[in-house]
Amino acid sequence: MGSPDQKGICTASDGSTGVDTPYLRVEDTGQVFELAAEVTTVGRGQGVDIALDDQSVSRLHAELIRRGPHVYVADLGLSANGTRVNGRPVGRRILADGDVLSFGAARARVGGLAPSEAAAEETVELRRVAAPDLTRREVEVLQALCRPALRHEAFVAPATAKDIADELVVTEAAVKQHLLRLYQKFRIPEGVNRRGRLANEVIALGVVRPLPTGDEAVRRAG
């Protein structure tokens, strides 16, 4: 078993980390970094806690933040390549044990996070804090967007712009403008199924929550 150095790095021939705190293992090098501090910086520049030698990583790329039993990653928005968790672009996201983080093209896996049933509600609240500020109308658009997914156990497509416009009694053009702003706020890149990716993100963050069984009413903000 290896022993941590001054940076909290510990490597071992059997693949174990040798740390009791949450840690990040870099795929290319096998290095393991303890996440002992409240905030751990990740990047390519000097002075960061976890330095990644990859040109796709910005000098100060992201932060890993400990809050009680939780660790979440926060992309600092300084790189065109962004941060992903299990392949999904994120702004902020609470991490689970085994999650794969991509900082640009550099990949790492988080470990040492114990599941905690008692912390479930706290996790939801942290996700709410991680979500961007929204206007009342933006919340209503998101609720209408996610309504089909929240009413069915199996995956269904989110509402179309026309469906949302009909529900909110506004023009389709107005809904599309709201959706464009929401894509930016939630960092949803252009590409296939952008509405679906937005719906998945806001549900994961707890911005819109599943309806209780048998409850067909969607509660609106305010």
| Digit-coded pLDDT (tens) for 104-155 | 899 999 999 877 553 455 555 555 555 678 888 999 999 999 888 776 544 4
State yes or no: pLDDT of 221 exceeds 60. Answer: no
Q: Could you tell me the CA-to-CA distances from 83 to 80, 132, 153 in Å, in that order?
A: 9, 17, 29
Instruction: Report which of 182, 93, 94, 187 is spatially closest to residue 145, judged by C-alpha positions.
Output: 182
Interior angle at CA 67, CA 66 and CA 68, nearest 5: 115
What is the CB neighbour count within 10 angstroms for residue 32?
25
| Digit-coded pLDDT (tens) for 25-43 | 999 899 999 999 999 999 9
Q: What is the arithmetic mean of pLDDT over 10-29?
A: 67
Interior angle at CA 75, CA 74 and CA 77, nearest 5: 140
Entry pTM: 0.49
What is the CB neighbour count within 10 angstroms for residue 188?
22
Kindly indicate the confidence band of residue 51, based on its pLDDT and cuts at 50, 70 and 90. Answer: very high
CA atoms within 13 A on the CB side of 195: 23
Average pLDDT of the chain to the nearest whole number: 78
| Digit-coded pLDDT (tens) for 161-200 | 999 999 999 999 999 999 999 999 988 888 888 998 888 7
Higher pLDDT, 10 or 64: 64
Q: Which two tokens stand for residue 150?
A: 């929240």
State yes or no: pLDDT of 204 exceeds 80. Answer: no
The per-residue pLDDT for 166 is 96
